[in-house]
Amino acid sequence: MLTLIWLRGLLLHRAARLAAAAVGVAAAVALLASLGAFLTSAKSTMTQRSIDRVPVDWQIEGDPSIEPALHADRRFTDLRRVDFADTAGLEARTAGQTLTTGAGQVLGLPSGYAAAFPGELRSLVGGADGVLLAQQTAANLHAAPGDTVKVQRAGLPAAQVRVDGVVELPSADSLFQKVGAPVGAQPQAPPDNVLLLPADTWHRLFDPVAHARPDQVRTQFHARLRHALPADPAGAYARVSGSARNLEVRLAGAGRVGDNLGAALGAARADALYAQILFLFLGAPGAVLAGLLTAVITGSGATRRRTEQALLRTRGATRRTLLTLATAEAVAVGVVGAAAGLGIAALTGRLAFGSAGFGATPATTAYWEGGAVVAGLVIAVLAVLIPAARDARHGTVASARRQIGAARRAPAWLRYGLDLWLLVTAGAVFWAAGRNGYKIVLVPEGLPTISVSYWAFAAPALLWAGAGLLTWRVTYWLLGRGRPVVARLSRPLAGGLADTVAATLSRQRVLIARTVALAALTVVFAGTTSVFDATYRHQALVDAQLTNGADVTVTESPGAYVPPGEARRIAAVPGVGHVEPLQHRFAYVGADLQDLYGIRPTGFSAATELQDAYFSGGTARELIGRLARRPDAVLVSEETVKDFQLRPGDQLRLRLQDGRTRQYRTVVFHYAGIAKEFPTAPRDSFLVANADYVAAQTGSDTVGTFLVTASGRSPHELAANLRGRLGSGAQITDLDSVHHVVGTSLTAVDLRGLTTIELTYAVALAAAATGLLLALGFTERRRTFALASVLGARTRRLGAFVWTEVAVVTVGAALMGGLAAWPLSHMLVKILTGVFDPPPAGLTVPWAYLGLVVAIGLIALLAAGAAAIRAVRRPPLTVLRDL
């Protein structure tokens, strides 16, 4: 009853103050709830993307006799038998010459396979059914639909088939995987030559082989699972891999499962963990800031609270009563704030994603909302209850009453140098994490679980906290010891009152230092979040560019002769900026067939961005420069350097196909450097050389790919344009589409939602931290201003007090915030380096956004200043009467 009376009074007559505190709680709750909902929806997107990306969920290899059992298994929605046979080589006769290949594999596909598992085959030329050649094999044989190819069979005469089409096998790695290979085994390279046959043709050709040489053939069943999986990749992974093991056990050794879906989900769960880390790292400071703001708001009522406490104790209230009342207040603030926060979160979701739950399921949304509400209540309790409990500690009422309005002295942490310790520890932890290669997501080999090394986060967290406290110290020191300097600097604003203004600021330095520190922390939050986000987005773009090559890539059909002059025809299409021809050939490095890219070193970087991280042993500019200086220079992969023990300048003999004779001949190159990644290049080994040299040596200047930059048009539009103009001969891909398809890492998840939330909150917090705190400070000094006004100070003179303080807060927050944001952004990008693919060469700074934050912070400051001056202009005696 006592509590109810108290609470009712507070709600009726202190609503404004409670609401102000609730706003802080609401901000934290809203931030956490919307980030959490976003995180869950991002995770479910990752699961969905993994499922979509895998063309065949399971490849079950074993005895053909298991087929009835598999067909009876209810977990599959689609199951098809695929037969594999080895061949010693293929042979084709074109234009009067015979071309042969090395060993390869011949697959027997059931009818409708391409439709059932669309990701496995991509038709390039001719039909998608019938006898099909893999792209590289077709190039080797110079075969086209209608040609006849001879297939070598072990122990039997070669058989002849007529080619119906050429296909690409985008998932060759998983298609030709060694099913049942032990964990951690070297992945098996897909065969160089592949021929796909209809099932009946395969059986006609290879059943006799199977009979005589069973080691030459094997049978797989390709399956699609029911995709009723948990939304979280980790859960989905556990379910799928568990199910795979279960099947193997049931097959009792007659079959093994190649768990492609499990592998994809396994990779996704690491990404999901990274997303969680991002959430934690970007969201936590926002929530902490909101909490600090709440504490400051409630702290501004400290004098009132102490007076009330003293009075209640005079009337016989025990400490427990005081704490009960404070708890009631905290809960009221927490509940109101949490409710408002959830409302804001729902609104944010609706605005940013079109649905209140960010596309997450109701259950997970509720889970996150519950967590956010708990966090909000914790903030309310910390901000309201803790100070009350501290005040209630006094042994007697008399000493509590004496405490009212007690002088403020430097806080203990300042005297013990806590800020400096935090910074030193941050440096040490960062250094230690660096020695560990910034590995924060740990995937222990052979274990189904993965974990996060959260302690690496201590470094940025400590740096952030240390920077805030250091800002406090610097401001405190500057306003104390540096008072003459402040007086001199404030002279332009304050004139003859400069010393008085400096003295006022000096006395208020605890308050001002707090404001500057919080404002600086907000600047740091906004700065690091936006820099991290911009860098992340830039890298996602770079990743897409690496995959696609450029804004738009025109890939000519294999075998077609396309001279560099074609570039002019492409350049004539509206919206095209720069066109860069890129030769694509195959070259034998020893027995290994690798992709070879011929470039024009001078113009290449105009079409696509080459990052230093793509190369090793020099910057991108240096290595491309080496190519430019030496015509026969070649950049090779790290494996090649290792395999051939290459040193710079060493000769490297490659076998390339001659454009005139179609025969492979040896061309001499010189090793000039290492290329780890290259636009359009595969992830494994490849070569980069001068296009002119390759053309001269092979007698053919045919271009495989044109890299096109868009100008004034989106890549997607330009690609459509080009498709219209160039016809269907060439394959045209654009950055926008690729951006959505590349799914190797977090880049697949559109972080735009996450950033929209965070950046919006950063702006709101910046406005609150600067404007609100300053306004609170001015309110506390209303009496000072009123008295000064009564003493004859005109608005302009009072403005000197207000604007000097505004200037101190602005300059302090911007300077210290900027100074701290820079190293923190670096640290964050370094620590979260695993998120980036490829790792960034430098930070990308979103100046426009930062400008917006600064502008809004300034507007808030100016508004607070103007409000203070307007309040001063009220007839002073109304203020004096209020006091």
Partner 1 sequence: MSPVVLEATGLYRFYRAGEEETAALRGVTLRALAGEFIGISGPSGSGKSTLMACLAGLDEPDGGTVRIEGTRLSHRPEGERAALRSRLVGVMFQSGNLIEHLTVRRNIELAQRLAGRYDPAWQAELLAELRMEQRADSRPSRLSGGETARAALAVALATHPAVVLADEPTGELDAQTEREVLDLLRDQTEQGTVVIVASHSAAVAHAADRTVTMLDGEIR
Partner 2 sequence: MNTLVELQDVARTHGSGSASVVAVHGVSCRLESGDQVAVTGASGSGKTTLLHLIAGLDRPTTGSIRWPALGGHPLSEPGQVGLVFQGPSLLPPLDAADNVALPLLLAGEAPRPAREKALEALASVGVGDLAGRLPEELSGGQAQRVAVARVLAASPRLIVADEPTGQLDSPHALTVIDLLVDAATDLGATLVVATHDPRIAGRLPRRWAMHDGTLREDETCSP
List interacting residues with partner 1 (CB under 8 A).
1-2, 5-6, 9-10, 12-14, 304, 307-308, 311-321, 395-399, 401
Could you tell me how many residues of this chain bind partner 2 (CB under 8 A)? Answer: 28
The only residue of 71, 795, 875, 882 in contact with partner 2, by rule CB under 8 A = 875
The neighbour count for residue 177, using CB atoms within 10 Å, is 18
Is 879 a binding residue for partner 2 by CB under 8 A? The answer is no
Contact 523, 857 (CB under 8 A): yes
Is 783 a binding residue for partner 2 by CB under 8 A? The answer is yes
The only residue of 307, 784, 863, 866 in contact with partner 2, by rule CB under 8 A = 784
Is 787 a binding residue for partner 2 by CB under 8 A? The answer is yes
User: Pick from partner 1, partner 2, none: which does 319 bind, CB < 5 to 8 A by kind?
Assistant: partner 1
User: Pick from partner 1, partner 2, none: which does 875 bind, CB < 5 to 8 A by kind?
Assistant: partner 2
Contact 505, 784 (CB under 8 A): no
Smallest distance, Å, CB 312 to partner 1? 7
User: Pick from partner 1, partner 2, none: which does 14 bind, CB < 5 to 8 A by kind?
Assistant: partner 1
CA-wise closest residue to 803 among 505, 513, 503, 518: 505
CA 357 to chain centre: 21
The only residue of 500, 555, 605, 779 in contact with partner 2, by rule CB under 8 A = 500
User: Pick from partner 2, partner 1, none: which does 171 bind, CB < 5 to 8 A by kind?
Assistant: none
Between residues 186 and 396, which has the closer beta carbon with respect to partner 1? 396
Smallest distance, Å, CB 882 to partner 1? 9
Contact 559, 857 (CB under 8 A): no
Smallest distance, Å, CB 792 to partner 1? 28
Contact 233, 43 (CB under 8 A): yes
CA-wise closest residue to 581 among 546, 613, 606: 606
Is 508 a binding residue for partner 2 by CB under 8 A? The answer is yes
Six token digits for residue 343: 């409302």
Give dist(CA 734, CA 345) in Å, integer: 35
CA-wise closest residue to 78 among 46, 120, 107, 49: 120
Contacts of 649 (CB under 8 A, 6+ apart): 670, 671, 672
The only residue of 339, 389, 852, 880 in contact with partner 2, by rule CB under 8 A = 880
Residue with tokens 């049931």: 250
Smallest distance, Å, CB 304 to partner 1? 8
Is 504 a binding residue for partner 2 by CB under 8 A? The answer is yes
Give dist(CA 305, CA 755) in Å, integer: 39
The only residue of 497, 526, 654, 772 in contact with partner 2, by rule CB under 8 A = 497
User: Pick from partner 1, partner 2, none: which does 591 bind, CB < 5 to 8 A by kind?
Assistant: none
Q: Which residues of 578-596 are buried (b: 16+ CB within 10 A; e: fewer)?
A: bbbbbbbbbbbbeeebbbb
Is the bond preceding residue 846 a cis peptide, omega within 30 degrees? no
Is 168 a binding residue for partner 2 by CB under 8 A? The answer is no
Contact 812, 437 (CB under 8 A): no
The only residue of 168, 173, 308, 499 in contact with partner 2, by rule CB under 8 A = 499
User: Pick from partner 1, partner 2, none: which does 5 bind, CB < 5 to 8 A by kind?
Assistant: partner 1
Six token digits for residue 5: 């009376």
User: Pick from partner 1, partner 2, none: which does 669 bind, CB < 5 to 8 A by kind?
Assistant: none
Query: Counting Cβ atoms within 10 Å, is residue 118 exposed (0-12), middle (13-18) or buried (19+)?
Result: exposed
Q: Give the gyration radius of the chain's Cα atoms.
A: 35
User: Pick from partner 1, partner 2, none: which does 166 bind, CB < 5 to 8 A by kind?
Assistant: none
Looking at residues 407 to 446 of the shown chain, list those that interact with partner 2 (rule: CB under 8 A): 407
Query: Counting Cβ atoms within 10 Å, is residue 416 exposed (0-12), middle (13-18) or buried (19+)?
Result: exposed
Is 401 a binding residue for partner 2 by CB under 8 A? The answer is no
The only residue of 405, 565, 590, 724 in contact with partner 2, by rule CB under 8 A = 405
Q: Which stretch binds partner 2 (CB under 8 A): 80-88, 468-476, 765-773, 780-788?
A: 780-788
What is the residue type of 82? V
Between residues 503 and 843, which has the closer beta carbon with respect to partner 2? 503
Is 790 a binding residue for partner 2 by CB under 8 A? The answer is yes
Q: Which residues of 193-232 are buried (b: 16+ CB within 10 A; e: fewer)?
A: bbbbbbbebbeebbeebbeebeebbbbbbbbbbeeebbbb
User: Pick from partner 2, partner 1, none: which does 405 bind, CB < 5 to 8 A by kind?
Assistant: partner 2
DSSP 244-271: HHHHHHHHTTSEEEEEHHHHHHHHHHHH
Smallest distance, Å, CB 792 to partner 2? 3
Give dist(CA 631, CA 621) in Å, integer: 16
Six token digits for residue 525: 């939050």
| Paired strand residues for 670 | 633, 651
Question: In Å, how far are 89, 274, 451, 617, 729 from 238, measured between CA atoms?
Answer: 41, 18, 14, 41, 45
Is 619 a binding residue for partner 2 by CB under 8 A? The answer is no
The only residue of 793, 820, 850, 860 in contact with partner 2, by rule CB under 8 A = 793
CA 722 to chain centre: 31
Binding mask 455-494 for partner 2 (x = CB under 8 A): ----------------------------------------
Q: Which stretch binds partner 2 (CB under 8 A): 320-328, 473-481, 564-572, 782-790?
A: 782-790
Between residues 359 and 876, which has the closer beta carbon with respect to partner 2? 876
Smallest distance, Å, CB 387 to partner 1? 18
Report angle CA 551, 553, 555 to the nearest 5 degrees: 175
Is 794 a binding residue for partner 2 by CB under 8 A? The answer is yes
Is 496 a binding residue for partner 2 by CB under 8 A? The answer is yes
Q: Which residues in this chain contact partner 2 in the complex, by CB under 8 A?
A: 405, 407, 496-500, 503-504, 506-508, 781, 783-784, 787-788, 790-794, 797, 875-877, 880, 883
